Chain A
Amino acid sequence: MYIPVNDMLKHFKQDAPAMANITHKSDQWSPYHDNSGTVLAVGIPGAVIVAGDTRLSNGYNILSRDATKLSQLTDKCVLATAGQYADFIALRKFLQQRLQLYEFQNEVQASTETVAHLLSRELYSRRFFPYYTFNLLAGLDENNHGVVYGYDAIGSYDQMTYGVQGSGQELVVAVLDNQLKGYNKINKTIPQTREEILDIILDCFSCAAERDIHTGDNVEILIITAAGTERIVKPLRKD
Chain B
Amino acid sequence: MLKHLYDTDCVTWSPQGKLFQVEYAMEAVKQGSICLGLKSNENVVLCSLKRQPSELAGYQEKQFKIDDHMAIAIAGLTADARVLCKYMRTECLEYKYTYESHHPVGRLVFKVAEKSQHKTQSGAKRPYGVGLLVAGIDPNGVHLFETCPSGNYYEYKCQAIGSRSQAARTYFESWFHLFEKSTLEQLILHGLSAIKKAIMEDEELNEKNVEVGILGKNLKFTHLNAQELRDYITKLEQFSPNSQIQQE
Question: Which B residues touch A97, using CB under 8 A?
Answer: 93, 96-97
Measured as residues with beta carbon below 8 angstroms from the partner, the interface class of chain B is under 10
Distance, CA A100 to CA B90, complexed state (A):
10
B65 contact set on A, CB distance < 8 A: 104
Please, which residues of chain A bring their CB within 8 A of the CB of B97?
93, 97
Query: Min CB distance, A130 to chain B, in Å?
Result: 21
In the complex, what distance in Å separates the CA atom of A69 from the CA atom of B190?
Answer: 46
Which chain B residues border A190 with CB–CB below 8 Å? none
User: Is B89 located at the chain interface by the 8 A CB criterion?
Assistant: yes
Residues of B within 8 A of A100 (CB): 93
Most buried by B among A97, A100, A101: A100
Proximity string of chain A (204-224) to chain B, C-beta cutoff 8 Å, 1 when within and 0 when not: 000000000000000000000
In angstroms, how far is the closest chain B Cβ from the Cβ of A94? 8
**Least Cβ–Cβ distance between B90 and chain A, in angstroms:** 8
CB within 8 Å of A: which B26-67 residues: 65
List A contacts of B89 (CB < 8 A).
Answer: 101, 104
Within 8 A of B (CB), among A140-171: none
By beta carbon, the residue of chain A nearest B92 is A100
Q: How far is the CB of A196 from chain B (nearest CB, A)?
A: 37
Q: How far is the CB of B59 from the nearest CB of chain A, in Å?
A: 16
Q: Closest approach, in angstroms, between the C-beta of B209 and any C-beta of chain A?
A: 20
Q: How far is the CA of A100 from the CA of B65 in the complex (A)?
A: 11
9 A-B residue pairs with Cβ-Cβ distance under 8 Å, sorted by A, are A93-B97, A97-B93, A97-B96, A97-B97, A100-B93, A101-B89, A101-B93, A104-B65, A104-B89
6 further A-B contacts with Cβ under 8 Å, apart from A93-B97, A97-B96, A104-B89, are: A97-B93, A97-B97, A100-B93, A101-B89, A101-B93, A104-B65
Interface positions of A (Cβ within 8 A of B):
93, 97, 100-101, 104
